Amino acid sequence: MFLRSFVKMLLLPFSCSAFVTRTAGTIGGRRRAPLTRHFFSVSESYLNTNNVRDQALSALSGCGGLKVTVVTARNLVNDLMSTHSLSEVAAQALGRTAVCAVLLSNGMEDRQTVQISVDGGGLLGGAVAICNGAGEVRGFVGNAGLGLRDLREAVGIKGTVQIVKNHPEWPRPYNGITAVQSGEIDRDIGVYLAESEQKSCALAAGVKVEGVLCQAAGGYLVEQLPGCRKEAAKKVQANLQRLVGKNGGDAVPAGLLRSGMEPADIAAAILEGTQGKALGQIEVRRTCVCSEERLLRSIRLLPRHEIDHILMEHEKVEAKCEFCGKVYRMGPDEVRDKLEKATGDPSKQVDL
């Protein structure tokens, strides 16, 4: 019952009203304190006034059976918009995908990664985001300048959601795939978690773009863990139901973040009445791992006659990183010299 109820509530908004008390302490020139309440408390280091910094915060119910992860990522989406010259709908798609990647990677080892690929067959051409356990994100879309306004139309509903989890020390990555059903990305990823990974969870991600700037971006993931008490699960469901409609017209939870709620506020609202506590937080930031060495590895995976043909026809090797836009170029002499000096088996070198 919990699984079915939560899947139905994948995008339910939530809010809070006067459930936080703030006393001593000074942050940004005004007095503030740890969030305090009988059901939730965090230290000052978790506070994030006006969501100035990108943050992923996790919390746990008192019974230990419900984990909540909340992300605010406005700076990340603005950075992606600038890097890829994203249109509004492309920013919506990539922003939601990136936020979901951060949510799913929370709690993993720093070197472990989650890659989300959503391609519903629409004109967007798909969205890809990769995040590791340290909160480092990168991503791209197929058609960055797409002029459509409707996200579902841009993404499409005749395709797949594919999620790959990997680690440098694993013999092979874990792959899962489900069908795109809604084109709203976060709802489709929530369905993936329920169907492919058999997880009881509630997931939402929203991005608010005005003009060339992202005003708010973030999401939440509520997961039921083994040993969850029925009373706690019912309480969290009731909290979400009670808070429906408080988000406003923006995609959940963008409206809440725009109103000034922080991840700690949102986590507290979800866990109200469960004696929740904060687990930890990480900084979310865009990064890229492209390099000339990775380009060389890719070249080495090609048959030598193909490399010679490319050098003869184009007199150079050129490649553009899809994630950051950086262009790498190597002349024929440089390529041949590096190939002569290269050692090891490139097929056994893992790119994460």
pLDDT tens track for 236-249: 999 877 765 688 77
pLDDT category at 348 given cuts 50, 70, 90 is confident
For the chain, give every residue range classified as CATH 3.90.1280.10.
292-348
Fold held by 292-348: CBS domain Like (3.90.1280)
Q: What is the DSSP letter of 346?
A: G
CA separation for the pair 80, 138 (Å, rounded)? 8
Average pLDDT over residues 50-56: 97
CATH code for the part of the protein at 2-286: 3.55.30.10
Q: C-alpha distances in angstroms, 115 versus 22, 51, 77, 338?
A: 39, 25, 17, 30
Residue 113 dihedral angles phi and psi, to the nearest 5°: -125, 155
Whole-model pTM above 0.75?
Answer: yes
Confirm if 6 and 237 have CB atoms less than 8 A apart: yes
Percent of the chain residues past pLDDT 90, beyond the cut = 80
For the chain, give every residue range classified as CATH 3.55.30.10.
2-286
Condensed to tens digits (0 to 9), the pLDDT of residues 275-311 reads 999 999 999 999 999 999 999 999 999 999 999 999 9
Q: Which residues pair with 201 in a beta bridge?
A: 223
Please tell me the predicted confidence (pLDDT) of residue 262.
Answer: 95
Average pLDDT over residues 51-77: 97
